[in-house]
Chains A and B, each alone.
Chain A
Amino acid sequence: MRWSRAWTVAVKDMRETFSTMQLVAPLVVVPIVVVVGYPTVFLLALRLTPGSVEGLQGFLGGFPDSAVPAFALATSAARAAYVAVVYLFAGFFLLVPVMVSTVVAANSFAGEKERRTLEGLLYTPVSDAELVVGKISAAFVPTIVFTWGCFAVYSAIVALLGVPVVGRVFFPTANWWALMLLLVPAVSLLVISIVVLVSAKARGFQEANAIGGSVILPVIGLVAAQASGLMVLSTGLVAGTALVFALADVALLYLIVSVFKRSRIVSFLP
Protein backbone atom coordinates (compact mmCIF):
# COMPACT_ATOMS: atom_id res chain seq x y z
CA MET A 1 0.00 0.00 0.00
CA ARG A 2 1.61 3.28 -1.14
CA TRP A 3 -0.27 6.15 0.45
CA SER A 4 1.13 8.66 -2.05
CA ARG A 5 -0.69 6.91 -4.89
CA ALA A 6 -3.95 6.77 -2.94
CA TRP A 7 -3.55 10.45 -2.09
CA THR A 8 -2.90 11.31 -5.77
CA VAL A 9 -6.25 9.72 -6.63
CA ALA A 10 -7.93 11.49 -3.71
CA VAL A 11 -6.58 14.95 -4.59
CA LYS A 12 -7.65 14.56 -8.20
CA ASP A 13 -11.15 13.48 -7.14
CA MET A 14 -11.49 16.38 -4.70
CA ARG A 15 -10.45 18.90 -7.34
CA GLU A 16 -12.91 17.32 -9.74
CA THR A 17 -15.74 17.40 -7.22
CA PHE A 18 -15.28 21.07 -6.49
CA SER A 19 -15.06 21.97 -10.16
CA THR A 20 -18.48 20.42 -10.85
CA MET A 21 -21.41 22.71 -10.03
CA GLN A 22 -23.83 19.78 -10.20
CA LEU A 23 -22.06 18.36 -7.16
CA VAL A 24 -21.15 21.51 -5.31
CA ALA A 25 -24.61 23.11 -5.29
CA PRO A 26 -26.39 20.48 -3.12
CA LEU A 27 -23.29 20.25 -0.93
CA VAL A 28 -23.49 23.91 -0.03
CA VAL A 29 -27.12 24.99 -0.26
CA VAL A 30 -28.84 22.33 1.84
CA PRO A 31 -26.37 22.39 4.76
CA ILE A 32 -26.45 26.18 4.86
CA VAL A 33 -30.23 26.11 5.19
CA VAL A 34 -30.17 23.33 7.78
CA VAL A 35 -27.28 24.31 10.04
CA VAL A 36 -27.32 28.07 9.59
CA GLY A 37 -30.86 29.03 8.61
CA TYR A 38 -32.92 26.96 11.07
CA PRO A 39 -30.84 27.70 14.21
CA THR A 40 -30.63 31.38 13.33
CA VAL A 41 -34.39 31.73 12.87
CA PHE A 42 -35.12 29.68 16.00
CA LEU A 43 -32.71 31.55 18.30
CA LEU A 44 -33.67 34.93 16.89
CA ALA A 45 -37.32 34.14 17.52
CA LEU A 46 -36.57 33.15 21.12
CA ARG A 47 -34.51 36.26 21.66
CA LEU A 48 -36.84 38.76 20.04
CA THR A 49 -40.18 37.23 21.06
CA PRO A 50 -39.64 35.06 24.17
CA GLY A 51 -43.34 34.31 24.24
CA SER A 52 -43.00 32.24 21.09
CA VAL A 53 -41.53 29.44 23.20
CA GLU A 54 -44.99 28.59 24.51
CA GLY A 55 -45.95 27.24 21.12
CA LEU A 56 -43.00 24.85 21.22
CA GLN A 57 -43.69 23.38 24.65
CA GLY A 58 -45.50 20.42 23.23
CA PHE A 59 -42.50 19.60 21.17
CA LEU A 60 -39.63 20.53 23.48
CA GLY A 61 -41.38 19.40 26.64
CA GLY A 62 -40.67 15.79 25.72
CA PHE A 63 -37.05 16.20 26.67
CA PRO A 64 -36.31 15.14 30.24
CA ASP A 65 -35.17 17.92 32.57
CA SER A 66 -32.36 15.65 33.71
CA ALA A 67 -30.73 16.22 30.34
CA VAL A 68 -30.70 19.98 30.92
CA PRO A 69 -28.32 21.66 33.42
CA ALA A 70 -29.79 23.79 36.20
CA PHE A 71 -28.59 27.09 34.74
CA ALA A 72 -30.67 26.44 31.60
CA LEU A 73 -33.85 25.71 33.55
CA ALA A 74 -34.16 29.28 34.80
CA THR A 75 -36.63 30.33 32.11
CA SER A 76 -38.69 28.55 29.49
CA ALA A 77 -36.80 30.38 26.77
CA ALA A 78 -33.40 29.34 28.19
CA ARG A 79 -34.56 25.72 28.45
CA ALA A 80 -35.90 25.79 24.89
CA ALA A 81 -32.70 27.34 23.56
CA TYR A 82 -30.53 24.80 25.38
CA VAL A 83 -32.58 21.77 24.27
CA ALA A 84 -32.70 22.96 20.67
CA VAL A 85 -29.02 23.89 20.45
CA VAL A 86 -27.59 20.89 22.27
CA TYR A 87 -30.01 18.12 21.26
CA LEU A 88 -32.50 19.07 18.58
CA PHE A 89 -30.06 20.43 16.01
CA ALA A 90 -27.44 17.76 16.77
CA GLY A 91 -29.26 15.39 14.46
CA PHE A 92 -28.81 17.79 11.56
CA PHE A 93 -25.08 17.46 12.01
CA LEU A 94 -25.39 13.78 11.23
CA LEU A 95 -27.55 14.50 8.18
CA VAL A 96 -25.06 16.99 6.74
CA PRO A 97 -22.07 14.62 6.48
CA VAL A 98 -24.31 11.83 5.23
CA MET A 99 -25.71 14.05 2.48
CA VAL A 100 -22.33 15.44 1.49
CA SER A 101 -20.54 12.11 1.54
CA THR A 102 -23.31 10.36 -0.40
CA VAL A 103 -23.10 12.83 -3.28
CA VAL A 104 -19.29 12.85 -3.41
CA ALA A 105 -18.88 9.10 -2.98
CA ALA A 106 -21.58 8.31 -5.55
CA ASN A 107 -19.49 10.24 -8.05
CA SER A 108 -16.30 8.32 -7.25
CA PHE A 109 -16.33 5.37 -9.63
CA ALA A 110 -19.63 6.02 -11.40
CA GLY A 111 -18.62 9.54 -12.42
CA GLU A 112 -15.36 8.23 -13.86
CA LYS A 113 -17.28 5.61 -15.80
CA GLU A 114 -19.57 8.26 -17.26
CA ARG A 115 -16.62 10.38 -18.33
CA ARG A 116 -14.73 7.31 -19.56
CA THR A 117 -11.72 8.13 -17.41
CA LEU A 118 -11.85 5.05 -15.19
CA GLU A 119 -10.19 2.68 -17.64
CA GLY A 120 -7.06 4.83 -17.73
CA LEU A 121 -6.81 4.64 -13.94
CA LEU A 122 -7.19 0.88 -13.93
CA TYR A 123 -4.25 0.43 -16.31
CA THR A 124 -1.84 2.09 -13.89
CA PRO A 125 0.03 0.25 -11.12
CA VAL A 126 -2.25 1.77 -8.49
CA SER A 127 -3.38 -1.29 -6.55
CA ASP A 128 -7.04 -2.09 -5.93
CA ALA A 129 -6.60 -1.18 -2.24
CA GLU A 130 -4.92 2.16 -3.10
CA LEU A 131 -7.71 2.96 -5.52
CA VAL A 132 -10.43 2.23 -2.95
CA VAL A 133 -8.63 4.13 -0.20
CA GLY A 134 -8.09 7.08 -2.56
CA LYS A 135 -11.75 7.17 -3.52
CA ILE A 136 -12.92 6.89 0.08
CA SER A 137 -10.48 9.61 1.20
CA ALA A 138 -11.69 11.89 -1.59
CA ALA A 139 -15.18 11.81 -0.05
CA PHE A 140 -14.14 11.58 3.60
CA VAL A 141 -11.81 14.59 3.76
CA PRO A 142 -14.22 17.19 2.31
CA THR A 143 -17.11 15.71 4.28
CA ILE A 144 -15.29 16.12 7.59
CA VAL A 145 -13.82 19.52 6.74
CA PHE A 146 -17.22 20.78 5.59
CA THR A 147 -19.05 19.39 8.62
CA TRP A 148 -16.50 20.86 11.00
CA GLY A 149 -16.79 24.14 9.12
CA CYS A 150 -20.56 24.03 9.63
CA PHE A 151 -19.94 23.24 13.30
CA ALA A 152 -17.72 26.32 13.63
CA VAL A 153 -20.39 28.51 12.01
CA TYR A 154 -23.07 26.93 14.20
CA SER A 155 -20.96 27.58 17.33
CA ALA A 156 -20.63 31.22 16.32
CA ILE A 157 -24.41 31.53 15.81
CA VAL A 158 -25.02 29.95 19.21
CA ALA A 159 -22.51 32.30 20.83
CA LEU A 160 -24.13 35.27 19.18
CA LEU A 161 -27.83 34.41 19.54
CA GLY A 162 -28.10 31.54 22.04
CA VAL A 163 -25.84 32.68 24.86
CA PRO A 164 -27.90 35.85 25.59
CA VAL A 165 -31.04 33.71 25.90
CA VAL A 166 -29.49 31.04 28.17
CA GLY A 167 -27.48 33.59 30.14
CA ARG A 168 -24.00 32.06 29.92
CA VAL A 169 -21.59 30.30 27.55
CA PHE A 170 -22.74 26.69 27.35
CA PHE A 171 -21.70 25.47 23.95
CA PRO A 172 -20.01 23.29 22.64
CA THR A 173 -20.94 20.66 25.18
CA ALA A 174 -19.17 17.34 25.74
CA ASN A 175 -21.73 15.42 23.68
CA TRP A 176 -21.07 17.78 20.75
CA TRP A 177 -17.33 17.21 20.92
CA ALA A 178 -18.00 13.48 20.92
CA LEU A 179 -20.41 13.97 18.05
CA MET A 180 -17.94 15.96 15.94
CA LEU A 181 -14.75 14.08 16.75
CA LEU A 182 -16.08 10.53 16.99
CA LEU A 183 -19.56 9.94 15.64
CA VAL A 184 -19.49 12.15 12.54
CA PRO A 185 -16.23 10.61 11.23
CA ALA A 186 -17.40 7.09 12.04
CA VAL A 187 -20.82 7.51 10.41
CA SER A 188 -19.33 9.31 7.40
CA LEU A 189 -16.78 6.58 6.81
CA LEU A 190 -19.45 3.89 6.92
CA VAL A 191 -21.73 5.75 4.53
CA ILE A 192 -18.87 6.56 2.17
CA SER A 193 -17.64 2.98 2.10
CA ILE A 194 -21.10 1.70 1.25
CA VAL A 195 -21.72 4.32 -1.43
CA VAL A 196 -18.26 3.86 -3.00
CA LEU A 197 -18.99 0.16 -3.28
CA VAL A 198 -22.36 0.96 -4.90
CA SER A 199 -20.64 3.45 -7.18
CA ALA A 200 -18.17 0.82 -8.37
CA LYS A 201 -21.07 -1.36 -9.51
CA ALA A 202 -23.33 1.38 -10.86
CA ARG A 203 -23.36 2.50 -14.48
CA GLY A 204 -23.54 6.20 -13.75
CA PHE A 205 -23.69 8.89 -11.08
CA GLN A 206 -27.50 9.17 -10.95
CA GLU A 207 -27.87 5.42 -10.40
CA ALA A 208 -25.18 5.38 -7.71
CA ASN A 209 -26.67 8.44 -6.01
CA ALA A 210 -30.18 6.98 -6.03
CA ILE A 211 -29.11 3.62 -4.60
CA GLY A 212 -26.47 5.06 -2.29
CA GLY A 213 -28.86 7.75 -1.09
CA SER A 214 -30.96 5.14 0.70
CA VAL A 215 -28.28 4.95 3.42
CA ILE A 216 -29.63 8.27 4.67
CA LEU A 217 -32.85 6.60 5.91
CA PRO A 218 -31.44 5.11 9.17
CA VAL A 219 -29.87 8.48 9.95
CA ILE A 220 -33.21 10.22 9.42
CA GLY A 221 -34.70 7.71 11.89
CA LEU A 222 -32.00 8.64 14.40
CA VAL A 223 -32.66 12.34 13.90
CA ALA A 224 -36.40 11.84 14.31
CA ALA A 225 -35.92 9.84 17.52
CA GLN A 226 -33.66 12.56 18.85
CA ALA A 227 -36.02 15.38 17.85
CA SER A 228 -38.99 13.70 19.48
CA GLY A 229 -37.16 13.20 22.76
CA LEU A 230 -37.32 9.41 22.48
CA MET A 231 -33.55 9.33 22.53
CA VAL A 232 -31.22 11.91 24.04
CA LEU A 233 -27.76 12.13 22.53
CA SER A 234 -25.80 12.05 25.75
CA THR A 235 -22.01 11.95 25.59
CA GLY A 236 -22.01 8.27 26.55
CA LEU A 237 -24.55 7.36 23.91
CA VAL A 238 -22.70 9.32 21.23
CA ALA A 239 -19.34 7.76 22.12
CA GLY A 240 -20.83 4.27 22.37
CA THR A 241 -22.60 4.63 19.02
CA ALA A 242 -19.37 5.94 17.48
CA LEU A 243 -17.53 2.88 18.74
CA VAL A 244 -20.11 0.57 17.14
CA PHE A 245 -19.84 2.47 13.86
CA ALA A 246 -16.04 2.43 14.04
CA LEU A 247 -16.06 -1.34 14.40
CA ALA A 248 -18.46 -1.58 11.47
CA ASP A 249 -16.10 0.73 9.50
CA VAL A 250 -13.13 -1.53 10.09
CA ALA A 251 -15.09 -4.61 9.08
CA LEU A 252 -16.55 -2.95 5.98
CA LEU A 253 -13.23 -1.47 4.85
CA TYR A 254 -11.58 -4.86 5.22
CA LEU A 255 -14.41 -6.44 3.24
CA ILE A 256 -14.30 -3.83 0.47
CA VAL A 257 -10.54 -4.01 0.03
CA SER A 258 -10.80 -7.82 -0.07
CA VAL A 259 -13.64 -8.04 -2.57
CA PHE A 260 -12.82 -5.05 -4.76
CA LYS A 261 -11.26 -6.35 -7.97
CA ARG A 262 -10.56 -4.10 -10.92
CA SER A 263 -11.17 -6.96 -13.33
CA ARG A 264 -14.83 -6.92 -12.20
CA ILE A 265 -15.09 -3.20 -12.84
CA VAL A 266 -13.60 -3.66 -16.29
CA SER A 267 -16.42 -6.03 -17.13
CA PHE A 268 -18.84 -3.09 -16.55
CA LEU A 269 -16.95 -0.85 -18.96
CA PRO A 270 -18.24 -0.38 -22.51
Chain B
Amino acid sequence: MTPAVEIRRLTKTYGHKRALDRVDLRVEEGSIFGFLGPNGAGKTTTLRILTGLARPTKGTVRVLGHDVATADNAVRADIGFLPDVPGFYEWMTAEEFLRFAGGLFGIGRKVLDERTGVLLELAGLTDITTRIGGYSRGMKQRLGVAQALINAPSLLMLDEPTSALDPMGRKDVLDMLQSLRGRTTVFFSTHILADVERICDTVAILDHGRVVAQAPIDELKARYGAEKVVVEVGEGADELAAAIGAEPWAAKVERDTNDTIAVTVTDADAASRAIPAMVAARRLPLHRMEAGEMGLEEVFVQLVGGGQQ
Protein backbone atom coordinates (compact mmCIF):
# COMPACT_ATOMS: atom_id res chain seq x y z
CA MET B 1 0.00 0.00 0.00
CA THR B 2 1.30 3.49 -0.87
CA PRO B 3 1.91 5.46 2.31
CA ALA B 4 0.08 8.79 2.68
CA VAL B 5 3.36 10.48 3.61
CA GLU B 6 6.85 9.24 2.96
CA ILE B 7 9.85 11.34 3.92
CA ARG B 8 13.39 10.20 3.27
CA ARG B 9 16.55 11.83 4.55
CA LEU B 10 14.85 15.22 4.71
CA THR B 11 17.16 18.06 5.66
CA LYS B 12 16.18 21.72 5.83
CA THR B 13 18.59 24.49 6.64
CA TYR B 14 17.99 28.22 7.09
CA GLY B 15 21.37 29.85 6.62
CA HIS B 16 23.62 28.03 9.07
CA LYS B 17 20.73 26.73 11.15
CA ARG B 18 19.68 23.15 10.52
CA ALA B 19 15.94 22.95 11.21
CA LEU B 20 15.56 19.34 10.06
CA ASP B 21 18.31 16.78 9.97
CA ARG B 22 17.92 13.62 7.86
CA VAL B 23 14.32 13.02 8.87
CA ASP B 24 12.70 9.73 7.83
CA LEU B 25 8.94 9.33 8.29
CA ARG B 26 6.27 7.04 6.98
CA VAL B 27 2.58 7.64 7.61
CA GLU B 28 0.26 4.83 6.59
CA GLU B 29 -2.97 5.59 4.78
CA GLY B 30 -6.00 5.79 7.07
CA SER B 31 -3.99 6.14 10.27
CA ILE B 32 -4.07 8.91 12.87
CA PHE B 33 -0.45 9.93 13.20
CA GLY B 34 0.87 12.01 16.06
CA PHE B 35 3.90 14.17 15.35
CA LEU B 36 5.37 15.01 18.72
CA GLY B 37 8.12 17.35 19.67
CA PRO B 38 8.99 20.21 21.95
CA ASN B 39 8.64 23.78 20.70
CA GLY B 40 11.29 24.53 18.09
CA ALA B 41 11.86 20.87 17.24
CA GLY B 42 10.98 21.41 13.57
CA LYS B 43 7.33 20.32 13.44
CA THR B 44 5.99 23.42 11.66
CA THR B 45 8.90 23.36 9.20
CA THR B 46 8.08 19.75 8.38
CA LEU B 47 4.41 20.62 7.84
CA ARG B 48 5.32 23.54 5.60
CA ILE B 49 7.45 21.25 3.48
CA LEU B 50 4.69 18.66 3.33
CA THR B 51 2.27 21.28 2.03
CA GLY B 52 4.77 22.54 -0.55
CA LEU B 53 5.23 25.94 1.13
CA ALA B 54 8.89 25.36 1.87
CA ARG B 55 11.48 23.48 -0.14
CA PRO B 56 13.62 20.67 1.23
CA THR B 57 17.34 21.42 1.25
CA LYS B 58 17.99 17.70 0.76
CA GLY B 59 15.96 14.54 0.71
CA THR B 60 12.65 13.52 -0.82
CA VAL B 61 9.10 14.12 0.38
CA ARG B 62 6.18 12.29 -1.13
CA VAL B 63 2.62 13.13 -0.14
CA LEU B 64 -0.20 10.95 -1.50
CA GLY B 65 2.24 9.68 -4.11
CA HIS B 66 3.24 13.17 -5.30
CA ASP B 67 6.73 14.58 -4.95
CA VAL B 68 6.00 17.89 -3.20
CA ALA B 69 9.02 19.54 -4.82
CA THR B 70 7.37 19.33 -8.23
CA ALA B 71 3.63 19.18 -7.58
CA ASP B 72 2.62 21.88 -5.07
CA ASN B 73 -0.90 22.60 -6.28
CA ALA B 74 -1.73 18.98 -7.03
CA VAL B 75 -0.73 18.09 -3.48
CA ARG B 76 -2.62 20.98 -1.89
CA ALA B 77 -5.81 20.01 -3.76
CA ASP B 78 -5.83 16.64 -1.97
CA ILE B 79 -4.89 17.72 1.52
CA GLY B 80 -6.58 19.70 4.24
CA PHE B 81 -4.50 21.86 6.52
CA LEU B 82 -5.05 23.75 9.74
CA PRO B 83 -2.18 26.03 10.77
CA ASP B 84 -1.13 26.39 14.40
CA VAL B 85 -2.70 29.85 14.71
CA PRO B 86 -5.48 29.79 12.15
CA GLY B 87 -6.76 33.15 10.97
CA PHE B 88 -10.43 33.69 10.27
CA TYR B 89 -12.32 36.40 8.47
CA GLU B 90 -14.16 37.59 11.53
CA TRP B 91 -16.84 39.41 9.54
CA MET B 92 -17.98 36.15 7.93
CA THR B 93 -20.37 33.56 9.33
CA ALA B 94 -19.18 29.95 9.57
CA GLU B 95 -21.20 29.05 6.50
CA GLU B 96 -19.75 31.92 4.48
CA PHE B 97 -16.26 30.93 5.57
CA LEU B 98 -16.75 27.31 4.49
CA ARG B 99 -18.23 28.40 1.16
CA PHE B 100 -15.28 30.73 0.60
CA ALA B 101 -12.84 27.90 1.36
CA GLY B 102 -14.78 25.62 -1.00
CA GLY B 103 -14.52 28.25 -3.74
CA LEU B 104 -10.74 28.23 -3.39
CA PHE B 105 -10.79 24.50 -4.06
CA GLY B 106 -13.05 25.02 -7.07
CA ILE B 107 -15.85 22.88 -5.60
CA GLY B 108 -19.15 23.06 -7.51
CA ARG B 109 -22.19 24.66 -5.92
CA LYS B 110 -24.21 21.47 -5.43
CA VAL B 111 -21.40 19.55 -3.76
CA LEU B 112 -20.48 22.60 -1.72
CA ASP B 113 -24.05 23.03 -0.44
CA GLU B 114 -24.10 19.44 0.75
CA ARG B 115 -20.61 19.47 2.22
CA THR B 116 -21.10 22.77 4.03
CA GLY B 117 -24.12 21.36 5.83
CA VAL B 118 -22.34 18.17 6.83
CA LEU B 119 -19.26 20.00 8.09
CA LEU B 120 -21.24 22.59 10.04
CA GLU B 121 -22.95 19.71 11.78
CA LEU B 122 -19.66 17.90 12.41
CA ALA B 123 -18.28 21.10 13.96
CA GLY B 124 -21.42 21.65 16.01
CA LEU B 125 -22.01 25.04 14.36
CA THR B 126 -25.17 24.37 12.41
CA ASP B 127 -27.44 26.75 14.25
CA ILE B 128 -24.86 29.43 14.95
CA THR B 129 -25.60 32.51 12.87
CA THR B 130 -23.31 34.99 14.61
CA ARG B 131 -20.15 36.15 12.90
CA ILE B 132 -16.87 34.34 13.53
CA GLY B 133 -15.56 37.34 15.48
CA GLY B 134 -17.94 36.39 18.29
CA TYR B 135 -16.81 32.75 18.52
CA SER B 136 -14.95 31.14 21.40
CA ARG B 137 -11.52 29.62 20.69
CA GLY B 138 -13.03 26.15 20.72
CA MET B 139 -15.66 27.11 18.16
CA LYS B 140 -13.02 28.69 15.95
CA GLN B 141 -10.82 25.63 16.14
CA ARG B 142 -13.72 23.34 15.27
CA LEU B 143 -14.52 25.62 12.35
CA GLY B 144 -10.83 25.45 11.35
CA VAL B 145 -10.98 21.66 11.26
CA ALA B 146 -14.23 21.80 9.27
CA GLN B 147 -12.61 24.21 6.79
CA ALA B 148 -9.64 21.86 6.43
CA LEU B 149 -12.10 19.11 5.49
CA ILE B 150 -14.03 21.13 2.88
CA ASN B 151 -12.25 19.43 -0.02
CA ALA B 152 -12.82 15.93 1.43
CA PRO B 153 -9.05 15.53 1.72
CA SER B 154 -7.25 12.20 1.62
CA LEU B 155 -4.83 13.62 4.13
CA LEU B 156 -5.66 16.06 6.92
CA MET B 157 -2.72 17.87 8.49
CA LEU B 158 -3.09 19.90 11.65
CA ASP B 159 -0.44 21.95 13.39
CA GLU B 160 -0.99 21.98 17.17
CA PRO B 161 -4.79 21.85 16.83
CA THR B 162 -5.53 21.71 20.55
CA SER B 163 -2.76 23.75 22.11
CA ALA B 164 -4.84 26.87 22.83
CA LEU B 165 -8.01 25.11 23.96
CA ASP B 166 -9.58 24.40 27.33
CA PRO B 167 -10.35 20.75 28.22
CA MET B 168 -13.84 20.83 26.69
CA GLY B 169 -12.58 22.47 23.51
CA ARG B 170 -9.80 19.88 23.28
CA LYS B 171 -12.25 17.06 23.71
CA ASP B 172 -14.52 18.41 20.96
CA VAL B 173 -11.66 18.75 18.47
CA LEU B 174 -10.24 15.32 19.33
CA ASP B 175 -13.69 13.78 18.94
CA MET B 176 -13.91 15.37 15.50
CA LEU B 177 -10.55 13.88 14.53
CA GLN B 178 -11.46 10.53 16.04
CA SER B 179 -14.58 10.42 13.88
CA LEU B 180 -12.38 10.55 10.76
CA ARG B 181 -10.53 7.35 11.61
CA GLY B 182 -10.35 4.98 8.64
CA ARG B 183 -11.75 7.59 6.24
CA THR B 184 -8.99 10.18 6.15
CA THR B 185 -5.35 9.98 7.11
CA VAL B 186 -4.81 12.42 9.98
CA PHE B 187 -1.34 13.83 10.64
CA PHE B 188 -1.16 16.20 13.54
CA SER B 189 1.67 17.84 15.36
CA THR B 190 1.41 18.55 19.04
CA HIS B 191 3.27 18.74 22.28
CA ILE B 192 0.24 17.56 24.26
CA LEU B 193 1.00 13.92 24.92
CA ALA B 194 -2.41 13.06 26.34
CA ASP B 195 -4.02 13.99 23.02
CA VAL B 196 -1.70 11.70 21.13
CA GLU B 197 -2.24 8.83 23.57
CA ARG B 198 -5.96 9.30 23.25
CA ILE B 199 -6.46 9.11 19.51
CA CYS B 200 -3.25 8.26 17.63
CA ASP B 201 -2.26 4.89 16.22
CA THR B 202 1.31 5.80 15.48
CA VAL B 203 3.63 8.46 16.73
CA ALA B 204 6.93 10.03 15.73
CA ILE B 205 8.98 12.08 18.16
CA LEU B 206 11.03 14.92 16.75
CA ASP B 207 13.82 16.57 18.69
CA HIS B 208 16.28 19.17 17.42
CA GLY B 209 15.21 18.41 13.86
CA ARG B 210 15.75 14.64 14.17
CA VAL B 211 13.25 11.83 14.53
CA VAL B 212 14.29 10.07 17.73
CA ALA B 213 11.50 7.47 17.68
CA GLN B 214 8.71 6.35 15.39
CA ALA B 215 6.40 3.45 16.10
CA PRO B 216 2.83 2.51 16.99
CA ILE B 217 2.13 3.90 20.46
CA ASP B 218 1.79 0.49 22.13
CA GLU B 219 5.05 -0.67 20.61
CA LEU B 220 6.80 2.50 21.71
CA LYS B 221 5.56 2.17 25.26
CA ALA B 222 6.45 -1.53 25.34
CA ARG B 223 9.93 -0.77 24.01
CA TYR B 224 10.62 1.71 26.77
CA GLY B 225 8.38 0.04 29.36
CA ALA B 226 11.17 -2.42 30.20
CA GLU B 227 13.06 0.50 31.67
CA LYS B 228 10.58 0.81 34.50
CA VAL B 229 10.20 -1.61 37.44
CA VAL B 230 7.22 -1.67 39.77
CA VAL B 231 7.68 -3.17 43.24
CA GLU B 232 4.90 -3.75 45.77
CA VAL B 233 5.75 -4.73 49.32
CA GLY B 234 3.46 -5.40 52.32
CA GLU B 235 5.30 -2.93 54.57
CA GLY B 236 8.48 -0.86 54.78
CA ALA B 237 8.03 0.70 51.35
CA ASP B 238 9.47 4.05 52.43
CA GLU B 239 12.71 2.55 53.68
CA LEU B 240 13.03 0.36 50.59
CA ALA B 241 12.32 3.30 48.26
CA ALA B 242 15.05 5.32 49.96
CA ALA B 243 17.51 2.45 49.60
CA ILE B 244 16.63 1.92 45.92
CA GLY B 245 16.96 5.66 45.29
CA ALA B 246 20.58 5.49 46.43
CA GLU B 247 21.47 2.86 43.83
CA PRO B 248 23.34 4.04 40.72
CA TRP B 249 20.86 2.33 38.31
CA ALA B 250 17.81 4.08 39.82
CA ALA B 251 17.03 7.19 37.75
CA LYS B 252 13.77 8.03 39.49
CA VAL B 253 11.79 6.55 42.38
CA GLU B 254 8.07 7.25 42.82
CA ARG B 255 5.83 6.19 45.70
CA ASP B 256 2.13 5.88 45.90
CA THR B 257 -0.14 5.24 48.87
CA ASN B 258 -0.33 1.43 48.45
CA ASP B 259 3.24 0.53 49.35
CA THR B 260 4.02 0.44 45.67
CA ILE B 261 7.30 1.79 44.35
CA ALA B 262 7.78 2.67 40.67
CA VAL B 263 11.44 2.83 39.70
CA THR B 264 12.71 4.23 36.42
CA VAL B 265 15.97 2.40 35.85
CA THR B 266 18.99 2.87 33.66
CA ASP B 267 20.02 -0.79 33.89
CA ALA B 268 17.04 -3.17 34.05
CA ASP B 269 19.21 -6.29 34.61
CA ALA B 270 21.02 -4.79 37.57
CA ALA B 271 17.72 -3.63 39.05
CA SER B 272 16.03 -7.04 38.66
CA ARG B 273 18.94 -8.69 40.48
CA ALA B 274 19.37 -6.11 43.22
CA ILE B 275 15.78 -5.33 44.21
CA PRO B 276 14.79 -8.85 45.40
CA ALA B 277 18.02 -9.00 47.39
CA MET B 278 17.26 -5.63 49.02
CA VAL B 279 13.74 -6.78 49.90
CA ALA B 280 15.04 -10.05 51.35
CA ALA B 281 17.76 -8.28 53.36
CA ARG B 282 15.06 -6.19 55.04
CA ARG B 283 12.77 -9.22 55.51
CA LEU B 284 9.92 -7.41 53.76
CA PRO B 285 7.01 -9.29 52.21
CA LEU B 286 7.31 -8.96 48.40
CA HIS B 287 3.83 -8.92 46.84
CA ARG B 288 4.71 -7.97 43.32
CA MET B 289 7.65 -7.06 41.11
CA GLU B 290 7.22 -6.47 37.39
CA ALA B 291 8.31 -4.44 34.41
CA GLY B 292 5.99 -1.45 34.44
CA GLU B 293 4.44 0.25 31.46
CA MET B 294 5.76 3.70 30.79
CA GLY B 295 3.32 6.38 29.83
CA LEU B 296 3.94 8.26 26.59
CA GLU B 297 4.98 11.26 28.62
CA GLU B 298 7.76 9.32 30.30
CA VAL B 299 8.88 7.93 26.95
CA PHE B 300 8.86 11.44 25.54
CA VAL B 301 10.79 12.92 28.44
CA GLN B 302 13.30 10.08 28.31
CA LEU B 303 13.89 10.54 24.57
CA VAL B 304 13.77 14.31 24.38
CA GLY B 305 15.10 15.26 27.79
CA GLY B 306 13.12 16.71 30.65
CA GLY B 307 15.02 19.96 30.62
CA GLN B 308 13.29 21.02 27.44
CA GLN B 309 9.75 20.68 28.68
Contact = CB atoms under 8 A, between A and B. Distances in A.
A122 B51 CA distance: 9
Interface in A242-270: 262-263, 266, 270
Interface in A96-112: 112
Contacts of B104: 5, 8-9, 121, 124-126
A125 B105 contact: yes
B37 to A, nearest CB: 19
B73 interface: yes
The A contact surface, by secondary structure, is helix
B306 to A, nearest CB: 28
Given A117-B88, A263-B55, A8 B73 contact: no
Given A16-B91, A119-B86, A266-B48, 10 more contacts: A4-B106, A116-B85, A119-B83, A120-B83, A120-B86, A125-B74, A125-B104, A262-B53, A263-B53, A263-B54
B87 A116 contact: yes
Interface residues of B, number: 25
Contacts, number: 62
B100 interface: yes
B131 to A, nearest CB: 10
A78 B225 CA distance: 98
A264 B90 CA distance: 26
B216 interface: no
Nearest to B99: A8
Contacts of B81: 123
B87 A123 contact: no
| 6 closest cross-chain pairs (CB), A and B | A116-B87, A117-B87, A8-B103, A125-B77, A123-B81, A124-B104
Given A4-B103, A5-B106, A125 B76 contact: yes
Contacts of B86: 116, 119-120
Interface in B66-105: 73-74, 76-77, 81, 83, 85-91, 100-101, 103-105
Contacts of A12: 89, 100
The B contact surface, by secondary structure, is loop
Contacts of B77: 125
Contact of B53 (A112, A122, A270): A122
A8 B100 contact: yes
A56 to B, nearest CB: 47
B91 A124 contact: no
B108 to A, nearest CB: 10
B54 A266 contact: yes
Nearest to A118: B87
Contacts of A122: 53
How big is chain A's contact interface, by range?
20 to 34
A40 interface: no
Nearest to B47: A123
A16 B132 CA distance: 14
B51 A123 contact: yes
A242 B228 CA distance: 79
Contact of A125 (B54, B73, B83): B73
A113 to B, nearest CB: 9
A19 interface: yes
A12 B103 CA distance: 10
Contacts of A2: 106
A125 B51 CA distance: 10
Nearest to B150: A124
A123 B75 CA distance: 10
Contacts of B74: 125
Contacts of A119: 83, 86-87
Nearest to B103: A8
Interface in A110-140: 112, 115-127
B87 A120 contact: yes
B87 A124 contact: no
Nearest to B86: A120
Contact of B83 (A8, A123, A263): A123
A259 to B, nearest CB: 16
B73 A16 contact: no
Interface string A1-32: 01011001100100110010000000000000
Among A8, A9, A120, A127, the most chain B Cβ lie within 10 Å of the Cβ of A120
B105 A124 contact: yes
Nearest to B14: A267
Given A12-B100, A124-B101, A115 B55 contact: no
A119 B84 CA distance: 10
Contacts of B54: 263, 266
